[in-house]
Amino acid sequence: MTKRISIFNGPNLNLLGEREPDIYGSVTLKAIEESCRSLAETLNIKVDFHQTNHEGVMVDAIQAARLSSDALIINPAGLSFHSVPVLDALRIFGKPIVELHLSNIHARDDAHRHSIMSGSATAVICGLGAYGYIVALQAAARALGPLADGLPEPLRFGPV
């Protein structure tokens, strides 16, 4: 059975490529989605890709993913630092979660430094820019079991 991974993107990520490229880079969210879908084909997994600027919509999507996804990747963006409802939804998810940030939040200002989501995540990736999505997708897929035989050995190791 094909594994399914949901990728959730929080507020303002729809403006990637335009907003603060010195922090977030110049790659658009559409280009990131295309790269994730391409890698998902190689990994023989299905990907659901979502973006919302609304906390409640994010909570609803995470709750729905409990029934349809085997793992979750989330870039909660600004919700990372204050959204207890999103945190609670992640705690209920009960499957592998990879938290993702384009920038290195640990090197940012105080308002962008401490994600409350990290304690509920299986893994946290930050500071790799758009490439972080590729790493997150590999990590989430590996958390679900060995990867496809056609991939190089270092990428195919079993669960993280």
Q: How many residues does the chain have?
A: 160
Q: Token match 């992640």: residue?
A: 90
Query: How is the chain split into domains, by residue range?
Result: 3-156
CATH number attached to the domain at 3-156: 3.40.50.9100
Q: Kindly name the residue from 54, 82, 101, 114 that is annotated as catalytic.
A: 101
pTM listed for this prediction: 0.91
Active site residue 101: yes
Write out pLDDT tens, residues 71-89: 999 999 989 998 999 999 9
Contact of 31 with 13, CB cutoff 8 Å: no
pLDDT, position 160: 46
Write out pLDDT tens, residues 17-76: 998 888 888 899 999 999 999 999 999 999 999 999 999 999 999 999 999 999 999 999
Active site residue 133: no
